[in-house]
Structure 1
Amino acid sequence: MSDVVGESVALSPEVGRMAAERAEFRMLIDGELTKAASGAAFDNHSPATGLLLGTTAAAGEEDMLRAIAAARRAFDESGWATDKALRRRCLEQLQAALESEKEDLRTELIAEVGCPAMTTRNAQLDWPLAEALRYPAGLIDDFAWERVLEGGGLFGDRNQRTVVQEPVGVVAAICPSNFPVEVILNKLGPALAAGNTVVLKPDPNTPWNATRLGRLIAERTDFPPGVVNVVTTPSNEVAGLLATDPRVDLISFTGSTAVGRTLMRAGADTMKRTFLELGGKSALVVLDDAKPEAALRSAIGVCVHAGQACAATSRMLVHRSMFDDMVGAVAGAFGMVPVGDPALPGTLVGPVISAAQRARVLDACDRAVRDGARLVTGGGVPTDLPEHLADGHFVQPTVFATENPDLAIAQEEIFGPVLVMLPFSDDEEAVRIANNSAFGLAGAVLSASAERGWSIARRIRTGAIGVNGGMFYGADAPFGGYKNSGVGRQCGIEGFQQYLETKTVGFRLPRQN
């Protein structure tokens, strides 16, 4: 196929056509690729053009319950939970299968997610494909599954205690639309390597990357039936069964804080364990000794993929001595950021995922103006897009400035290419403003002094933070949030352990003569 990220002629309508030709429309349930029992399907539209790409099976209650039953049976009755060699082999087979269709998957992501082609070279595809399965597969052999504690006997008996790590059981993996492959692989990798079975529920706006994975599992791997099930549905009621069914042991969810709270409440009656990677309103702190050009580069980060990243630094805190100059420089840079067709290699800002999401972003901008924030640039819909993008869901890169860190624009997650700039007078105030948030997911600090930057970073209540451009991302690095940004961590040893239960076994040993 043509290299969609390398040819200027590869416009989104053509990319959508190519994606539709190679898409998988069926679900994977109990080892079978299947339509919905009712025959129902739902539409998959391109967020860049608004055009219909195709359809996907729309699961009903019967389909979801069948998938849950299959996952439960595979965990309870197959050897998956105990056969480490099988788990490693299956993950390696899936890795090879995904790599063999990497370029088709890239085309698919650009078409249905609307992500700029350049982002598929990093966090959208290439980075997670390189390590999200390989890292946990390596832990199958390297992880300390057991440890021995000496002592603890009664009445002089010799005693030994063995602490054993075992899989939790059936995992419901519920994934978002913004970085679907990255999130799916970083959920499936550790969950499966740990010995769990999975019901994967992708976002209905971006189902094809998940159904492709289901087809590869069915056709190219030795996964036992029911170990992985991929259930696509636009119905919140059907998806909600994952939170209420007692056969599901753990909910692994990435998405909004509001939905995370709903899932936690729904799972409480059956005492489900929960991993929730939720929203953010992360701060980029620019100290008075920071280089302006570095601050400018960091500010543009909120424009990447139209700001649809939970870790995006959407609050920019700038020392008051350089605030006015930095506001002007950021506004100028935002005005030159390439907005347009995500299939073209130079595009940085593509569409947001849906018309509803664009309306939410624009409403937030309108409210910010009413609240008294100064609109520096943007705040609306681009007017210079080519005709084939006229029905796409685009928002202008937008900058607000305000002295009030309590405004909604500085407190609420927007999930669009919207930056709010706030001044501070000293390091203490910078930390105070950064921590003045219900969220605590990510962040960044810029300073000429690494020691000063490190000191600020340690005081900001957030799950991940970069100093002077340092990157915290990786399959071996735990990622998750404080406060309303979630519960638990994805990736790393900490993320692997979330998919495990701990059992302590005591042995009474024979007395020594």
Structure 2
Amino acid sequence: MSNLQDAMLYINGEIRPSSDNAYYDNIGPWTGEVVGRAADATAADVQQAIDSARHAFDHTDWSSQHEQRHELMKKYVKALWDKRALLVDISRFEAGAAMGAAARAHIDGALNGADDLLKCFEQVTWQEDRGVKNENGFDTKRLVTHEAVGVVGAITPWNVPLYVNIGKVVAALLAGCTVILKPAPDTPLMGSVMGEIAQQVGLPPGVFNVVTSSDPAMAGEMLTKDPAVDLISFTGSTAVGKLIMQNGAPSLKRVFLELGGKSAFVVLDDAPNFAQTVMGSMVVFHAGQGCAYPTRLLVPKSRYDEAVKALEMAYAGFDSKWGLQDEPSCIMGPLISKKQLDRVASYTDIGKQDGARLLAGGKVRSDKGNGFFFEPTCFVDCTNDMRIAQEEIFGPVLVVIPYEDDEDAIRVANESVYGLGGAIFGSTERALEMAKKIRTGSMSVNGGTSITGDLPFGGYKQSGIGREWGLEGIEEFLETKAIGIRAS
């Protein structure tokens, strides 16, 4: 197991330890052992980060020099690409990504997304001429300008840390905001390295700051409550998202949230390669630790037995293909922590108590090593009102639900407090019409890619507020101002 470098704070352009020189252990999911350590920020450190970001926004030209800022961010993204090998190692040893997942969604997906954001920046309209209007007896020339919101608190999760960090940080900096990044306690180094690279490429002091902390709440509480922070961008659980909205209410802080999901994978009776498509619904990539991952498989009753047999074959064939740390083709490793392992494991009993049938998996796999391994799991004979069908498990657990017809499939897909992602397979015209009726922020039709760096990503209902990525993701960090100039 690799020893990772220390994750340090990055505040006002300086890489440094916490003010009391305290550190906490960075635990590796593959072994359950310490792989590094991270600076444990104090409240004073967090306050200094807020003050630095506030000063950089209020007293420098960062927000107004659009082309200069764009060029500097190009250098920053290039420097991230130059560190690709290091970032892959961090995602493997800190976040528990298998090699096949580390190189794909974790790192290349994040860096390609950063390139997309740089291109989307060129589409931002900073000033619009709305023409002359005669009002109150005289002509007024009208302008509408778009300008940075201000100081952003970016609070990010542990599942795909670089991807989420970039989606918030790069977009906010391109918009002209200043940023305080608070990574999850489980994945501090991925955020810290972003601070190191910012210093190397010469981002102005205070424009970008990183605070790592073992306390999951302290820094986030400060960011969400401080009036000096203008906007909070949070990715994580719906419960914490609701708390953030409460914390920001007294200052009417702008909040946008990317929260939980329980997305549906709908297979129609006319889907080409029906059995193969059903097999492809297994929840295994990065151990199912993805908010938009479709974890409810909806199959027609007319072909239900066929679907179950296909899943039996798929899970049996996959047993020897996961939990392999150094295998480039492996896409499933451990869960992030012992806490998450215990939580996911508890759903085995919950599913059985609800009356579902355990088709595959359901066990902690200590034979894979001392890390946090839970085997790919599938429940069949489920109904949509079961807890395993309604609650976000955030692990390698698939729930299979039969449906009667197209309208019933849409009903089941929509009977959820969440609405983040989804997929549907069938004849294209039919599948597309159904996709439009499923209330989620993104939908894949017949395997099409609906989540990329140049498309907006976010949820309906309790899956969130606002959009990340794409032009819309940059515009989330902008305010709109109307200006009237008397012309006569």
TM-score with structure 1 length normalisation?
0.92
Whether 2:465 is the aligned partner of 1:484: answer: no
What runs of 5+ residues in structure 1 fail to find an aligned partner?
Answer: 1-12
Give me the whole-angstrom Cα distance separating, in 1, the residues matched to 2:430 and 2:276: 16
Deviations 1:322-348 (A, max 9, x none): 112211221321232222133321322
Residue 403 (structure 1) shift: 4.1
Whether 2:174 is the aligned partner of 1:193: answer: yes
CA contact 2:123–2:471 (8 Å) conserved in 1: no
Residue 122 (structure 1) shift: 1.9
Amino acid at match of 2:400: M
* 3-state SS of paired residue (1:47): coil
CA contact 2:357–2:382 (8 Å) conserved in 1: no
Correspondence for 2:23: 41
Residue 377 (structure 1) shift: 1.0
Amino acid at match of 2:456: P
Deviations 1:366-393 (A, max 9, x none): 11111111111111112542xxx2x200
Correspondence for 1:376: 359
Q: Percent identity?
A: 42
Correspondence for 2:290: 309
Deviations 1:51-80 (A, max 9, x none): 111111000100000000000000000110
What CA RMSD, in Å, does the superposition of the two structures yield over aligned residues?
Answer: 1.3
Correspondence for 2:432: 454
CA contact 1:440–1:484 (8 Å) conserved in 2: yes
Whether 2:244 is the aligned partner of 1:263: answer: yes
Of 42, 54, 70 in structure 1, the residue corresponding to residue 52 of structure 2 is 70
Residue 354 (structure 1) shift: 0.4
Amino acid at match of 1:464: S
Residue 494 (structure 1) shift: 1.5
CA contact 1:110–1:343 (8 Å) conserved in 2: no
Correspondence for 2:444: 466
Give me the whole-angstrom Cα distance separating, in 2, the residues matched to 1:70 and 1:296: 52
Of 282, 288, 296 in structure 1, the residue corresponding to residue 278 of structure 2 is 296
* 3-state SS of paired residue (2:284): helix
* 3-state SS of paired residue (1:124): helix
Give me the whole-angstrom Cα distance separating, in 2, the residues matched to 1:472 and 1:335: 30
Correspondence for 1:495: 473
* 3-state SS of paired residue (1:400): strand
Of 142, 147, 172 in structure 2, the residue corresponding to residue 161 of structure 1 is 142
* 3-state SS of paired residue (2:184): coil
73-82 vs 234-243, which deviates more? Answer: 234-243
Whether 2:374 is the aligned partner of 1:395: answer: yes
Whether 2:74 is the aligned partner of 1:95: answer: no
Give me the whole-angstrom Cα distance separating, in 2, the residues matched to 1:141 and 1:465: 26
Question: Where do 4+ consecutive residues of structure 1 move more than 4 Å?
Answer: none
Deviations 1:435-478 (A, max 9, x none): 0100000001010x100000110110110000110111211100
Amino acid at match of 1:175: T
Q: 1:455 to 1:139 in 2, by over 3 A?
A: closer
Give me the whole-angstrom Cα distance separating, in 2, the residues matched to 1:438 and 1:214: 36
CA contact 1:116–1:342 (8 Å) conserved in 2: yes
Deviations 1:460-501 (A, max 9, x none): 011000011011121110010000100001111221111000
Whether 2:213 is the aligned partner of 1:233: answer: yes
Correspondence for 2:91: 109
Q: 1:79 to 1:414 in 2, by over 3 A?
A: same
TM-score with structure 2 length normalisation?
0.97
